[in-house]
Each structure stands twice: as structure tokens, then as C-alpha cells.
A and B are shown apart, each in its own frame.
Chain A
Amino acid sequence: MIELLATVISSAFFVTVIRTTTPLLLATLGGLIADLSGALNVALEGQMLVGCLTAVIVSVYAPWYVAVLAGLGSGAVLGLVMAFFALRLKADIILVGFAINIMAAGGTVFALAMATGGDKGTSINLVSKAIPPVDLSFLGVIPGIGPVLVSLLSGHSVLSWVAAFLVFAIWYFLYRMPWGLWLRGVGEYPAAPAAAGIPVNAVRAWSLVVSGGLAGLGGAQLAMFNYVGFARDMTAGRGFIALGAVLLGARHPVGALLAALLFGAFEGLAVVMPGLFADAPAELIRMIPFIVTILALVLFSYRAQRARQMRTLSKS
């Protein structure tokens, strides 16, 4: 137990948590944008998975940043597909989302087999690249706190910094820019922006594209930093956890950051625990993030319901 505490407080664990949080955070931000525009994006999982595979395959032939952009682009394309079917052809968006998840689960394995000439399920024979860590060791010259800063801030993926910046950027976009107001209005009460001449479907389509792109970016981080290479179903429910994190984060970018950090911390715990307790069953440890998601969802829903009840009580 003491060892566990010591591990959790250490800076190495902090670095692990940042690593496990980054893909989740990117997907959560994607889910947030779609959700706020009134289009629930349940395809985050599939978009992440396709982002993973695209990034891995492109990174074999191109520099890492091209691969990352390709991962982003593949997710965005899937977002566009969603928008086309859900908004133009009026299909139920949840069914469209699950169709994309099913397509991603099968399609990635199929595409990988085609790209490698028959490998089933892992890209072990592909020499894929990794995202380089950001080296901030020059901070060490700061007297006193320098070494601590280096151990905490150095060595993160570029995308971790991008994700942190995106939390701010998305907050600014949503709450300080007219387009963000459009987006929230479309999600809140579509009839009003429609009457004001705002193209509701175009706003939703764009948010689905951005949402997919962010999920794809999360996939790139997962397959080019957390792990290097692709394995079938390597997202392992992260897209669905991100969906829960959107709700848990009270549909706000900062809340999304905190929720993603919470789930990232438990995933980090699941990463370090096998090293500490050799006999702890791996299956039960892998369950932790899912159980935490359910508990958090229930707790959050309970509080939200209480808040609603209080509001109606005070009105009447």
C-alpha cells in the first residue's frame, strides 16, 4: 500500500497519467464539440481506431507530423461521413455512429491485412514511427525548482501540449467567439438559430468533422506515443469512456479536462499496478476505468437531477 502511494505521488506517475490522459482528452474534446452542437457522436471509438491505423501506416512512409495529420484527417473524414448520413440523409445519428464503429472494428483489421500482406490484427511487421517527446531539460537551470519542473514537464508528447492548448482554444471558441455561440445555440434550441438565419445543419456538420478530427488525433497519439504500432481494437473502449467524460465534465472544456484526467489517472493506475502487485489479476485492474466511468456517470447524473429538482422547486 505504501509502495502504491509512493508510486502515485512520484513524478513518473504524473508523466504516465499525462500520457494516458492525452488520447482520452482529445477524444473527449471531440465528443464535447459534437454534443454541444446537438449531435451525439458515438463514433468516437471508431474514429480513434481508424486514426490509429492511418497514423501507423502513414508513419511508415512519411515523417511523424504527416502521420499525425493523416490520423486527424481520417477521423475528420469519418465525421463528414457521419454528417452526410445523419444530416443530409436523415438517418438516426446514434445508428450512424455505431455503423462507423462496426466499420472501424472490421475495416481496420481488413485494411491492415491488405497493407501488410496478411498480418492479422497487429502491425508488428511495420516499422512505424513515434511522436517525439518535447525535451524541456533547459528548465533545469532554474535554481531550486528546476529539476522538479524538468521531471514533471519534460518528455511529454507534442500532442499532450497540443491537447492542453486545445482545452483553452475550445473554451475561447465556445464562449468568446460568435461562431461558438452559434454552435451552442444550435445544440440548445435549434429553432431559434434557424429563425435567425444560422445554417443549423452546416454548423452541426462542421462540429462533427472537427469532432472526428480530434478523435483521430487522439488515435494518432495512442498509436504513435502511448504504444508504437497498431493492434486490433487497441482503443479498447476509450472512445466510449470519452463519451462518458463529456457528460461527467458537465459539457464544458475545463470539465472535460478534469474528467479526462480522472479517467487517465485510473488508467495510469492500471498501468503501474501490475508492477507493484505481481499477483493482482490483470483483468480486474483493466476493469477499473470502466467501473469508474459508470460510478462517475451515476454520481454526476444524480447531482444533475438534484440540481434540476431544486430549480423546479424554487420556480414553483
Chain B
Amino acid sequence: MSTMPTLAKQSRWTAVRAEVQRAVTAILVALLVTVIVVMLTSKTPFEALNTLLTAPASKPRTIGLWFDDVAKLTVTGLAFSLVFQARQFAMGVQGQVYVGALAATYVALSPLGPTFAAIPLGILAAMLAGAVWGFLPGIAKARLGANEIVSSLMLNYIAIELCNFLVRVQLREKPGVLTSLEFPDTAVFPPMIPGTRIDLGLVLALGATLLVWFALYRTAWGLKLRLVGHNARFAEYAGIKSTLIMVSAMTAAGALGGMLGAMFVQGQTYGKLTVMFEGGLAFEGILVAIVARSRPLAVPVVAIFYGYLRQGAQLMNIRTDVPAEVIGVVTAIIILLVSSSFSIPGKAWLLGLFRRPAPQTDAAVDGAAK
């Protein structure tokens, strides 16, 4: 009687373990590459590596910075997970962040700004703006078959220039300064832990995680979405309107992207709008989503690890001579390794190294064929 569920549970655990192993291996390889690069390029390599690996957890302030990043990485990771599960490659989170931030800014600087409604309305406006930005490539693809990668990327650039333009001509504090007025206190997320940058954003991120998990795995919409992602044609035969699912997935992901925009400008970090505030974080959601295999509940876990690395790189940039951009290389290597079946050659080699000359040739061939 009980064998079936047990078996299912067992195979599930094996799968989880395999995924975790793969992710950990990828991160270790990426770290190894970082170590080599830092060793080769830095004048003070040990100090740099020490900063990279220990600095984020060293002080309450840096822990705050780390978890602020975790919240943001979680949301962008969720947005990418949603579209990836539907097998759409909409790359528009960056643009959604900018339009969301603009919408939140207009709410915060409006007469509503000094009232209690500023925070919820700001988030809502940002989500709405992001949803529109996500809807556009979706509808263009569903109705016309326009490639969503190209259109969403173009919308990113348009949103960035729009933000630059509005900040310069309308929202700026004074001529020549490329930031908006400071938001009133009521429009800024209150800090959860005083003295750090951990604010309402972390709560929003966790709430969004649960919501996306529920939507994907406990609703009919989520089931349809995953079916479309697995095999759009089959889903169509099963009577699912795959275009509708596609558009709604991109719109929902857009709303998440917009919310991330509100988290940026209304968060403790900024409390105002500046040009180019996002700093490439949106695209790092690709890494988070891929390492988490687009599973919503795994996204925050991955975000914690990656956020640590990211913050370490920022601190290394400030304190030593290694630029933070080295993290881009690490990110790319992790994506390449996790999204491919890389572990096989390394595994065979390690087996040969640590154990007796094992009969690993068969396994290796098997794996390579996979």
C-alpha cells in the first residue's frame, strides 16, 4: 500500500539531491575560477579573497546589504522562473524594473506621498506598470508571433532611456543632479531591523515566493502553464489556450519586475529615483532561476548563496584592487555549467583521481551520450 508514495518520495529526494549536487559543483567550479583569476590579477590576492568570502557576514551592516540583495534577487529570479516554466524567453525584467520604479516614484512624489497610502499604492502602481511592460512582448508574440526575446530586450532599452529622460527633465532635485527629490518618509519602506537595509522588501520577496509557488503548483492556471512549457502543442490539443497562458505568464512576471522597481526606489537603499539605479541586478535573475531550476521555493535559497557572492564582490571592489565586475564572469560560468550536462567529464576525472582506477569508462560514455 505504502510503497508507491514512498517510492515517489524517494525518487523525488534523489532528484533533489542530484540538483543540489549539480548546483554545488557549479558554484565550486565558479569559485575555483574566481580564485585563479584573483590570484593572477590582484596584488593582494589573499586579502581580496578573504574579503570576497567573509566580508558580507562580518558586520550587521554588511549582512543588511546582503539580505537586501537577497530580496531583490529573489524577486527577479521568480520573474524569470515564471516565464522559463512557460518556456518563454522574455528578457524584460530590467525594463519592468525601470518603469515600475518610475510609477512608484510618481506615486511617492504625488500629494499621496505623505499619506499612509504611499507604500501600498506605490507598489501597486509599480506592479501595474511592470505588468504592462511584460504584457506588450507577450501579446506581440501571441497575436503575431513576434520574437519575444528581441521585443523584450528593446523594451528594456526604451525603459532605461525613458527613466533617464524623466529624471532629467521632470523629477530631478535641481538642474544637473540626476536624482529625484527624496521621497517622504511615509513612502519609504520601514526597516525591519533598525540600522540595516533589511526592509519591507524582504517580506515582499518571501510573500511573492509563496504566491508564485501556489500559483504554479496549486492552481489550474499553474498546471496549464507548466503543461504549455513542457509541450505547447500537446497542451493545445488538450484544449489549453497556450497563447493566453503565454501572455498571462509574461504579464505576471512583468508585475513581479515592476514590484522589484518599487523595492529599489522605495527601499532603504535609495528612497529616491536615480538614473541607472538597477546596476545589472535584473539579469542576474537568469542565474537564480536556472540554478533553482525555475522552482519558486528554491529561488530564495539560491538567492541567499548568490547574494552572498555578489555582496562579497562589491566589498572586494571597494576594499581591494579587484573590480566587482569579476562577478559577471562567475555568473556566466555558473549558468553555463548548471544549464549543461557538464558534470560528467569532471566526475570521471575525480573518480579516477580519488579512487582506484575504477571501471568508469562505461559510466563516462553513458553520461556523455546523455
Contact = CB atoms under 8 A, between A and B. Distances in A.
- Counting chain A residues whose Cβ lies within 8 A of the other chain, the interface size class is 35 or more
Contact of B41 (A96, A114, A241, A290): A114
Contact of A301 (B89, B144, B331): B144
A99 B337 CA distance: 10
Contact of A283 (B168, B327, B340): B168
B28 interface: no
Contact of A290 (B140, B157, B333): B157
Contacts of A106: 280, 325-329, 331-332
A167 interface: no
Contacts of B165: 281, 283-284
B171 to A, nearest CB: 13
Interface string B317-350: 0000101011111011101100111100000000
Interface in B25-57: 41
Given A286-B161, A287-B158, 7 more contacts: A99-B335, A102-B284, A105-B280, A106-B332, A243-B147, A281-B165, A281-B169
Contacts of B215: none
B203 interface: no
A311 to B, nearest CB: 14
Contacts of B283: 98, 102
A95 B335 contact: yes
Interface in A262-316: 281, 283-284, 286-287, 290-291, 293-294, 297-298, 300-302, 304-305
B286 A298 contact: no
A105 B149 CA distance: 18
Nearest to A82: B336
Contacts of A153: none
15 contacts: A90-B370, A94-B89, A96-B335, A98-B335, A99-B336, A100-B332, A103-B331, A105-B328, A106-B329, A244-B147, A283-B162, A287-B161, A291-B154, A298-B144, A301-B140
Contacts, number: 146
Nearest to B150: A244
A85 B161 contact: no
A109 B161 contact: no
Contacts of A287: 157-158, 161-162
B263 interface: no
A228 B168 CA distance: 28
A110 interface: yes
Contacts of B62: none
Contacts of A132: none
B73 to A, nearest CB: 14
Contacts of B280: 105-106
Contacts of B243: none
Interface residues of B, number: 45
Interface string B115-147: 000000000000000000000000010001111
A42 B149 contact: yes
A140 interface: no
A96 B336 contact: yes
Contacts of A100: 332
B336 A120 contact: no
B246 interface: no
B151 A294 contact: yes
A113 interface: yes
Nearest to B37: A110
A39 B155 CA distance: 24
B157 A109 contact: no
Majority DSSP secondary structure for residues of B touching A: helix
A237 interface: yes
B339 A107 contact: no
B92 to A, nearest CB: 12
Would you list the 4 A-B pairs with minimal beta carbon distance, nearest first?
A: A106-B328, A103-B332, A91-B340, A89-B340
A236 B164 CA distance: 15
Interface string B162-179: 101100110000000000
B325 A107 contact: yes
B332 A102 contact: yes
A92 interface: yes
A283 B287 CA distance: 30
Most buried by A among B162, B280, B327, B340: B340
A271 to B, nearest CB: 16
Interface string B85-102: 000010100000000000
B95 to A, nearest CB: 10
Contact of A110 (B144, B149, B150, B329): B329
B292 interface: no
Nearest to A119: B323
Contacts of B151: 294, 297-298
Contacts of B153: 237, 240, 243
Contacts of A120: 323
Most buried by A among B155, B165, B284, B339: B339
A107 B144 CA distance: 37
B290 interface: yes
Nearest to B149: A42
A67 interface: no
Contacts of B328: 102-107, 109-110
B146 A301 contact: yes
A109 B146 contact: no
A93 B149 CA distance: 13
Contacts of A290: 154-155, 157-158, 161
A293 B342 contact: no
B27 to A, nearest CB: 15
B147 A118 contact: no
A297 B150 contact: yes
